Amino acid sequence: MIGNLELSTLQQLWWLITSLVGSLFVFLTFVQGGQTLILTLARSEDEKSLIVNSLGRKWELTFTALVLFGGALYAAFPLFYATSFGGAYWVWISILLTFVIQAISYEFRRKPNNFLGQRTYEIFLLINGTVGILLIGAAIGTFFTGSNFRLNDYNLVQWTHPLRGLEAAFDPFNICFGLFLVFLARVLGTLYLTSNIEDANLVARLKKSSFTNLLLSLPFLFFVLVQLITMDGFTVDPATKAISMVAGKYLDNLLSMPPVLIMLLSGLILVVVGVILNRFTKSRSGIWPSGLGTVLTCLSLFFLAGYHNTPFYPSRVDLDSSLTIYNASSSHYTLTMMSYVAILVPFVLAYIAWVWRQMDSRRLTLDEVTGNSKSY
């Protein structure tokens, strides 16, 4: 059945799959958000250890999701991978570096004879949760604002800015999108830690912090949403394949794809609902409505960037070099074989959910952390 699908259908399917993986990655950045709380919310070494060990059970999932997102883009849309990772390499190297120091920090933070000191590794975790997420947000923001590249007749990329992708962090839309993701990660981090830690004083502060960080995220979210519905956008003519700029492109996408608009509004509402439940009730399960809301919100943004005749990786300097899900994709054969493999994804997700449930069946206590010689 999959083998009988048209190439365009497979291309749309794989944009959906990669978008879902990317959205799940953003949800999993609760790990990065939680890391930013170690130096600001914890008031003792015991509370630091509780936070680090709670997040330490999940940090590999975020890294794995990031690698899977990059791998899916590489396999399904290789021209994008070659263009972005080959041209904007300084921003991607910087992002990967923050994840490398994250992994090192969990492993060596409390090791004997740690010559860098425990605080150094805690600062590394802070950098991963702030700079790393900010740069990822700026990189995703270029799906709407464009990047500085052109492709020749052989699809060889020429990057026209000396900062090689880092210039994205100086665009107001990109930087606000990145800052929104930073505070969203902090919100998700407080919600996850609230659900996972058994410490009354720390949980009380986490509940307050979730609401505070939600409020801090709102100005950046408002700026991003206003820009999206008012900015000129990139569009491709389905007949001629010519790419041009049009006014109100992303607003038109929202209005032309009502399910996407519903997903966006529902996602934002669910994020707020999770925080309100966490802050103003005794519930400690706010991570789940907010997590689902995060996935829906991110999915809607990816759909805005890639569907409805929209280049998902537009070029600022040469419109004709802009990439769409059609001109950047793999062949029909490759996408078909990948689709057969993707049938196994629900089983993998079910296994992850089962492992997650087993790991979090009991809330983490200080006695469990101090009594385990292998704790982080």
pLDDT at 1 over 70: no
In a domain, 23, yes or no: yes
Cα 99 from chain centroid (whole Å): 13
**Residue 69 structural domain:** 2-208+311-370
pLDDT tens digit sequence for 266-296: 999 999 999 999 999 999 999 999 999 999 9
User: CB neighbours of 122 closer than 8 A, spacing ≥ 6?
Assistant: 38, 39, 48, 105, 109
Residue 336 phi, psi dihedral angles, 5° rounding: -65, -45
* % of the chain with per-residue pLDDT over 90: 73
Which pLDDT score is estimated for 373?
Answer: 64
In a domain, 295, yes or no: no
pLDDT at 135 over 80: yes
In a domain, 130, yes or no: yes
129-139: average pLDDT: 96
pLDDT at 348 over 80: no
Q: Which two tokens stand for residue 291?
A: 């997590």
Rounded CA-CA distance 228/232 in Å is 9
Q: What is the pTM of this model?
A: 0.94
Residue 55, SS3 per DSSP:
helix
Domain count, the chain: 1
Question: How many residues are there in the chain?
Answer: 376
**Helix axis angle, 249-256 relative to 287-306, nearest 10°?**
110
In a domain, 177, yes or no: yes
In a domain, 137, yes or no: yes
Rounded CA-CA distance 87/100 in Å is 21
Q: Tell me how far CA of residue 126 lies from CA of 104, 279, 368, in angstroms.
A: 13, 24, 24
In a domain, 292, yes or no: no
In a domain, 87, yes or no: yes
Residue 319 phi, psi dihedral angles, 5° rounding: -55, -35
In a domain, 280, yes or no: no
